[in-house]
Amino acid sequence: MDREKEFYERLERKGVSRRDFMKYCTALTAALGLSSSFVPKVAEVFAAPKQRPPVIWLHFAECTGCSEGFLRSAYPFVDELVLEILSVEYHETIMAAAGYQAEEQLHQAAEKYKGKFICVVEGAVATKFDGGYGKVAGRTFLEIAKDICPKAAAVICLGSCSSFGGLPSAKPNPGGYKSVSDALGIKTLNIPGCPPNPINLVGTVVNYLLLGKLPELDELGRPLFAYGKAIHDQCPRRAHFENDEFVEEFGSEEAAAGYCLYKMGCRGPETYNNCPIAKFNDGTSWPVEAGHPCIGCSEPDFWDKFTPFYEEM
Ligand code: FSX
Ligand code: SF4
Ligand code: F3S
């Protein structure tokens, strides 16, 4: 109870009321496809966590946009997530340790929590020339991935690069970059997007803590709660041009249809993600709402498959 009290006091100091927090938990519960009776339990995962799963967070070939997006997630604040809900043992971007000390931490954590830790991976793995296109501390990404990933209880690929190869694997791909799953021949849970929405990682972790298992996945390893529907099927621009009132406002069906970004090359009909519902930057907006067509950043083969971006499909 004390812990819970402290949690709410901390939130309050950050300008977040209990009411705002409960609103967030309600949205997260709905996003996870759980009934509203789960809302107090979801809140409890944040406020009074019973266990803190150890996490080793690896970085390979990427732009670190995935961590950037995650570090900017408002709820839970990243310090809550790192210190209270998860126990992040190794994360190159945010850990204080560097050099030899950091390496030691990685090896010790992988041994100490063998079979128990969650391995979060950002970035693709170079496979040609013995993995020579990417190294950390003198070891190739491939060596590190082969060493750490099989020791984890689960491997979560955060972002399109680790999930599907993403930008580093775009043609001509001289380093032979591949997804973690293809490079190692293992199954991974994939949270694609360039960058992915942090709420989908939070949802996956909450699902794990709440129900003791990872969420249900599609055939590409993506949690169905987030990637079960096409962008186009949730897009307000579509709702608008199919909406009589909107057609009336625009004067004709044709003019209303012009509001849709399909002719500007929108890949919404081929892209599975929850951007229209979850949105980014604390639910402020998402690409199509901001006036830019979806470029299919969370789909396999994103880049080669969808370029040139502004050509109609
Ligand atoms: Fe890739 Fe993430 Fe795009 Fe960047 O770590 S999915 S290039 S947002 O940073 O991996
Ligand atoms: Fe579909 Fe894109 Fe048009 Fe939205 S803007 S309705 S996602 S094609
Ligand atoms: Fe990416 Fe399309 Fe969403 S470009 S962020 S999947 S709207």
Question: Each residue of 72-118: pLDDT tens digit?
Answer: 776 656 666 666 778 889 998 888 899 999 999 999 999 999 999 99
152 and 139 within one domain: yes
85 and 71 within one domain: yes
Q: How confident is the model at residue 33 (pLDDT cuts 50, 70, 90)?
A: confident
Task: Using DSSP, state whether 56 is helix, strand or coil.
Answer: strand
Cis peptide upstream of residue 223 (ω within 30 degrees of 0): no
201 and 85 within one domain: yes
Q: How far is the CA of 237 from the centre of ligand 2 (A)?
A: 6
In total, how many domains does the chain have? Answer: 2
Q: Phi/psi of residue 100, each to 5°?
A: -55, -40
Q: How far is the CA of 62 from the centre of ligand 1 (A)?
A: 5
Which residue, by CA, sits nearest to atom 3 of ligand 3? 275
250 and 141 within one domain: no
249 and 221 within one domain: no
Q: Which residues contact 205 (CB under 8 A, 6 or more apart)?
A: 53, 81, 85, 86, 118
As a 3-state breakdown, the chain gives helix, strand, coil percent values, each rounded to 5, of: 45, 15, 40
Among residues 226, 245, 272, which one ends one of the domains?
A: 226
Q: Which residues contact 161 (CB under 8 A, 6 or more apart)?
A: 60, 61, 62, 66, 122, 123, 124, 167, 168, 169, 177, 179, 194
106 and 134 within one domain: yes
125 and 10 within one domain: yes
Beta bridge partners of 90: 56
| Percentage of residues in the chain having pLDDT higher than 90 | 59
Among residues 226, 258, 280, which one ends one of the domains?
A: 226
The one-letter amino acid at 101: Q
Interatomic CA distance for residues 91 and 68, integer angstroms: 12
165 and 57 within one domain: yes
* Ligand sitting nearest the alpha carbon of 123: 1
Q: Which domain holds residue 253?
A: 229-306
Query: For the segment 163-217, what is each residue's pLDDT rounded down to a tens digit?
Result: 999 999 999 999 999 999 999 999 999 999 999 998 898 889 888 888 888 999 9
Among residues 184, 206, 226, which one ends one of the domains?
A: 226
pTM: 0.91
> Any idea what the CATH number is for the domain that residue 245 is in?
4.10.480.10
- What residues flank ligand 1, with Cβ below 6 Å? 62-66, 122-123, 159-161, 166-167, 194-195
